Structure 1
């Protein structure tokens, strides 16, 4: 649930920094490892897409704080769709060594949610531009754009996972 609380914002930032350190470790390990469970390039690209998801999440939190914005019902709806799709990406990654057909299904489902976010993005931008407060419109447009970009990276992560699964199945 997207609460807008300071604690939740700090947790997003903490997780983003932790993920950056883990990705750095992964890249160092890729450099040292000769044999990997699947293509090195796929591992690298998937880690980059996941890193971007976290970066856009953190940027959203930071800019909401800087702009002194509160979560709106529209933002909450988009964030909920992103939450569901990121859980599907996580589950798909966890299934790489378990249930490959289920992992593929999860990756494809996550991609479908990206379309939902894009529809909400366009609908909410149109609604936003009906207002008269230009400063508010510009601030919220940036927040909506971060969330849209986050959904794009979820779509990319789903594509990469699908590519990995096709090679494995």
Structure 2
């Protein structure tokens, strides 16, 4: 299929958005390294989140300008918003760790962030291939598998923090962080679901 300049711009913007999201998740991963200075990483992640907002706004502006789009406008809005939502959760998770002054996190938190890292990498690899979305079956199947893996970790984490090992205030803090991470993982699945729907419409 021959692509117009308008088509290419949208694919490039989604690619840039996903790569920026991957960068954000990598910063979050750095925050879990032993003795990491989480507070020092917050401005870096906020800058990445602002860049993500710019990508989203650019996509929306281009759609609203009336240019021809490579796939349905509603799907473009949804995909751009979904990528932005994941990055918002990633940024919020680190912010909560710092604001709540959480020093030690349960081991399962690192597992959830590892899932986010793998999902971010897969998503960054998938976005340049949106023009042939029907070939991305393995991508959305793997994202779904990762989300199921994270769900199991999430439930185990909840069981642990409510086991009596932590005081009530710490439970509240950890629960906020864990739920924000879970929301980010769910967000990656939402992105994959939208890509699958785009593929179905292209077939």
Q: 2:85 matched to 1:49? A: no
Structure 2 counterpart of 1:3, from 30, 35, 38 = 30
5+ residue gaps, structure 1:
none
Structure 2 counterpart of 1:94, from 128, 133, 143 = 128
The 3-state SS of whatever aligns with 1:68 is coil
Q: Report the equivalent of 1:28.
A: 61
Equivalent pairs, count: 168
Q: What is the TM-score when the length of structure 2 is the normalising length?
A: 0.77
TM-superposed deviation, 1:100: 4.2
5+ residue gaps, structure 2:
1-25, 32-36
Structure 1 counterpart of 2:144, from 101, 111, 114 = 111
Q: Report the equivalent of 2:179.
A: 145
TM-superposed deviation, 1:98: 5.5
Cα shift readout 1:61-104 (whole Å, capped 9, x = no counterpart) = 11111001136322111100111012212211121135741x23
Q: Distance between the aligned counterparts of 2:69 and 2:166, measured in 1? A: 55
Q: 2:195 matched to 1:161? A: yes
Change (3 A) 1:92 1:104: farther
TM-superposed deviation, 1:8: 3.6
Q: Distance between the aligned counterparts of 2:83 and 2:133, measured in 1? A: 21
Q: Distance between the aligned counterparts of 1:23 and 1:42, measured in 2? A: 13
Q: What is the TM-score when the length of structure 1 is the normalising length?
A: 0.91
Cα shift readout 1:26-68 (whole Å, capped 9, x = no counterpart) = 1111001331011111111011111110000011011111001
